[in-house]
């Protein structure tokens, strides 16, 4: 199965230059043709495994805890406005 590198790059939010596109498309097609070997197996009746432990969801009390952690966290932000992360304009117009 061939992949459309432009579509996958957009979905991945990674900009690729032309040289990278050729190389990565080639690498990925090679890997995808290797994994074709899975088609040898009859797995129609096999249940998928997403996780090997039989875990159940963990709930906790919804308690208010005072935390000043956001101050330290904001120190790393590339751009802030008060206690908000600042990003380029998302909505067109206005």
CB closer to another protein out of 65 and 69: 69
How much of the chain is helix, strand and coil, in % rounded to 5? 40, 5, 55
CB closer to another protein out of 30 and 94: 30
Give least dist CB 57 to another protein, A: 8
Where do contacts with another protein occur on this chain (CB under 8 A)? 1, 3, 5, 7-9, 11-16, 20, 24, 27-28, 30-32, 34-35, 37-38, 41, 43, 46-53, 55, 57-58, 60, 69, 72-73, 75-79, 85, 87-90
CB closer to another protein out of 30 and 66: 30
21 SS3 class: helix
- Compute the distance between CA of residue 31 and CA of residue 38 in angstroms, rounded to an integer: 12
Helix (H) or strand (E) holding 24: helix 18-35
Is residue 6 within 8 Å of residue 18, measured between CB atoms?
A: no
């Amino acid at each position: 199965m061939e992949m459309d590198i432009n579509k996958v790059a957009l979905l991945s939010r990674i900009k690729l230059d032309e040289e990278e596109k050729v190389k990565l498309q080639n690498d990925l097609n090679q890997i995808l043709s290797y994994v074709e070997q899975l088609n040898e197996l009859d797995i129609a009746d096999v249940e998928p495994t997403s996780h090997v432990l039989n875990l159940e969801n963990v709930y906790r009390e919804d308690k208010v805890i005072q935390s000043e952690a956001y101050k330290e966290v904001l120190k790393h932000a590339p751009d802030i406005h008060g206690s908000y992360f600042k990003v380029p304009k998302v909505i067109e117009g206005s």
